[in-house]
Amino acid sequence: MSKKGSSSNKILTGVFWLAVLAIVVYLIVRHVGVFGNVAMVMIGFGSVVLVHEFGHFIVAKLAGIKVEAFSIFMPPTLLGIQRTPSGLKIRVLPSFFADTTEEPPGGDSTPESPAGEAGTEYRVGLIPFGGYVKLLGQDDIGPVKQIADPRSFSNKSLGARIAVVAAGVTFNIISAAILLMVVFLIGIDFPPPLVGGVVPGSSAEKAGLRSGDEFIEIDGQSEGLEFSSLVLAAALSDRNDPVPVVVRRRDGSTQSMELLASTQPNDQQIREFGIIAPMSLTLAELTDPIALERETGLRPGDRVVAVDGNAVEHHWLYEEAIQGMFAPRVTITAERPQVGGGVDRIGTELALAWLPSREAVPSDATLCNVYSMVPRLRVLEGPTPSPAGADTLRKGDIIISVADVPHPTYAELREITAAHEGKPLAIQILRADANGVERTAEVTVTPRKEPGSDRVVIGFLPALDAEHAVVAKTVSAEGGVPRLDIPRGATIVSVNGKPVSTFYDIVAETRQWDGQSVKLEYHLDGQASGGVTLANPKAEAAIAVESTTVVHLPFKPLERLYKAKSPIEAIRMGYRRTVMFVAMTYVTLKQLIAGLLSPKLLMGPVGIMVSSYQIVAREPLVYYAYFLGLIGASIAVLNLMPMPPFDGGLIVLMLVEKIKGSPLSEKAQGVLAYAGWVVVGTLLIYVTFNDVLRTVRGFFS
């Protein structure tokens, strides 16, 4: 090619990259917040990789190993500086404007030569992520090369080579500890180890744990406990091996117990104790706060202080107050902070609904009931999304028949649904029109399995029809009142002679007769049919239903400040947390290999980047520093895995060399290195696929 053509190509290349640069600058200016967060993520995570490489670099220098190149960020190289016998050599944008071929990481080929040759080239790459170090005779993607130069990696003592290889993980652990020390010196909020609620049938429920109980010791650990300590203790415990804990009960007493983790029926398949995280009484920020205020009169940042005039200090007291309500509405009082200081008290009324049993066990004893009477089922929320153009269940529909079973209970509906998996299922309903007139109708649904579960569902949220006094069935429940002899579909019309029209009326009137017998009269099919006597309406569990607000209030998680009182304490807290992260990563790998944890739980580079971006965009910077400490400690453990191309694999090869008396052949080392890369590459593709899948699901959820 002529010089004129070569010059033209250089000019065109320069114009191209200037145009690209202009477009990038324009996009950054238009979306400065997004690009700022992305840059923070890249630099933060890249610094973890860079610290690792710097460990190799500094120890290699101390060991007298020739470092051919050390780069901050990844190629192509924007800037290269190297000291040569003839002076300082500087390369600026070499691959863009010069007739030089950009070499990949570790691609510099310095010929074997005596002292006085060019030193290390220090580079700055275009991609602001991590970095790399290239040692003479050592290549991450192949065998260690036997080079005559005494400064080559292969010609150093075994101890020096192990020190160089181990320096990366050592620097990762040290930097993680320092980062976490700074985090605890600043202070960071975490959910405390409190019980916010328990899952029915879980180990926590069987142990008698209640909302408000606090863990003061978990598996022998008592310092720096937070809610994640419970999650990790359950997930990392051995199968059939209970975890010893000490709990401070709400009354101030302490109790020792053992909790056995079990796999919950969800997509993640994580083993848990069945403990729900504690919540605060402050409403969380929402993407659509106007909708919340329109439906409830409350705003994000409001703090609930009373329920029906009774003060509540904790979220679990709020929940217990709501659950014990047997009226159609409840009055909520909240405090709203004002811009200039002070608070306003806000009062609002919220509609309530009764929830059916969450158990999928077809047993009468598991059913919610009122004095042994089970109300009909009502649709609290319809299927989402509804089939296009199809008439399906809607909010407010009352189920009066399913597959020819009149007025089915929740347990019966679960049985029928499971038996009709993938098949059309006819449901007769009572539906109110625009004027409030209720008419019968029929819809057809097709039950399907929930994603990641064997549970067959229709896809609607059920509640009990407390707005009518129609009895779906009467049941015998342990600890409840004796089963009343009332036929299915009967309507209670009076309590001790006073007319009633809803289950709310039944509860209110029955409670008026403290400890006395109560007579209930009912009609069936519009005809007077008879009456029954309720002998002991105050029996324990006589009312076995729980109320909830129809509009869910989005409360913030309860958080507690974890902050060191002095630099010395910060060092201890940072050290303990680093040790915990290292142990956590090690046990996680162990359980993955043993098949106790699903590999779907692994997070790859994409998942780490997405999580990092979410933390940077939504949380104070101290949370990202904490996350980087976790990543640094985890990378250290992963790099010590005893297989090439990890640092642990290189150390194993050097120990084999020590035992054998000579290194493995370059061919054998190459086979092991490439086999290792195949395993790592396959795993990387797998976790990346799961990362993308989780990200897409999260975007559309």
Contacts of 387 (CB under 8 A, 6+ apart): none
SS3 161: helix
How far is Cα of residue 635 from the mean position of the Cα atoms in its chain?
Answer: 20
As a three-state string, the secondary structure of 374-422 is: EECEEEEECCCCCCCCCCCCCCCCEEEEECCEECCCHHHHHHHHHHCCC
- Is the overall model pTM greater than 0.85, yes or no? no
The answer to whether 415 touches 497, Cβ cutoff 8 Å, is: no
Number of CB atoms found within 10 A of residue 449's CB: 13
CB 48 within 8 A of CB 624: no
Distances (CA, A) of 512 to 200, 543, 552: 32, 15, 31
Distance CA 78, CA 126 (A): 6
Tell me the sheet residues that pair with 688: none
Are residues 87 and 129 in contact, defined by beta-carbon separation less than 8 angstroms? Answer: no
Q: Give me the residues paired with residue 272 across strands.
A: 262
Compute and round to an integer the Cα radius of gyration of the chain: 34
Query: Quick one: which of 189, 71, 75, 178 has its CA closest to 131?
Result: 71
Q: What is the number of other CB atoms lying within 10 angstroms of the CB of residue 414?
A: 22
- CA 81 → CA 84, 139, 185, distances in Å? 10, 22, 38
Residue type at 320?
E
Print burial letters for 427-436: b (CB count within 10 Å at least 16), e (below 16): bbbbbeeeee
Q: Which residues lie below 8 Å from residue 368, measured CB to CB, with a gap of 6+?
A: 354, 355, 356, 357, 374, 410, 464, 544, 545, 546
CB 219 within 8 A of CB 597: no
pLDDT of 511 = 87
Q: What integer pLDDT is reported at residue 269 of this predicted model?
A: 58
CA atoms within 13 Å, Cβ hemisphere of 521 = 12
Q: What's the average pLDDT block by block, 10 residues per block, for the chain (701 residues)?
A: 56 67 67 72 81 90 89 80 83 55 42 60 76 78 68 86 91 93 94 91 89 93 89 82 93 93 63 91 89 92 95 94 90 91 91 70 58 91 61 88 90 90 91 88 88 79 92 83 90 94 92 87 87 80 84 93 93 91 82 72 74 81 90 87 83 85 80 82 79 64 50
Q: Distance between CA atoms of 122 and 61, rounded to whole angstroms?
A: 14
Q: Are strands 303-307 and 543-544 parallel, antiparallel or unpaired?
A: unpaired
Distances in whole angstroms, Cα of residue 531 to Cα of each of 482, 486, 506, 534: 15, 8, 14, 10
- Model pLDDT, residue 310: 94
Nearest to 533 by CA among 461, 485, 593: 485
Name the token pair of 602.
Answer: 């692994």
The 8-class DSSP code of residue 148 comes to S
Are residues 250 and 260 in contact, defined by beta-carbon separation less than 8 angstroms? Answer: no
8 A C-beta contact, residue 407 and residue 473: yes
Residue that has been written with the tokens 């302490």 in this structure: 254
Q: Tell me how crowded residue 557 is: count the other CB atoms within 10 A of its CB.
A: 16
d(CA 44, CA 168): 17
Distances (CA, A) of 634 to 170, 583, 586: 12, 9, 8
Alpha helix (H) residue ranges in 549-646: 567-594, 605-618, 621-639
Distance from C-alpha of 326 to C-alpha of 97, rounded to nearest angstrom: 78
What lies within 8 Å, CB to CB, of 305 at 6+ separation is: 281, 311, 312, 333, 334, 335, 345
The number of beta carbons lying within 10 Å of the beta carbon of residue 177 is: 22
Alpha-carbon distances of 144 from 103, 159, 669, rounded to whole Å: 19, 16, 8
Burial group, residue 16, by CB count within 10 angstroms (0-12, 13-18, 19+) = exposed
Grouping H, G, I as helix, E, B as strand and the rest as coil, residue 361 is coil
How far apart, in whole angstroms, are the C-alpha atoms of residue 390 and residue 427? 14
Given the DSSP bridges, would you call strands 369-370 and 471-474 parallel, antiparallel or unpaired?
unpaired
Query: Peptide bond preceding 76: is omega within 30 degrees of 0, i.e. cis?
Result: yes
Distance CA 512, CA 348 (A): 27
Q: What is the dihedral of CA 25, 26, 31, 34, to 10 degrees?
A: -30
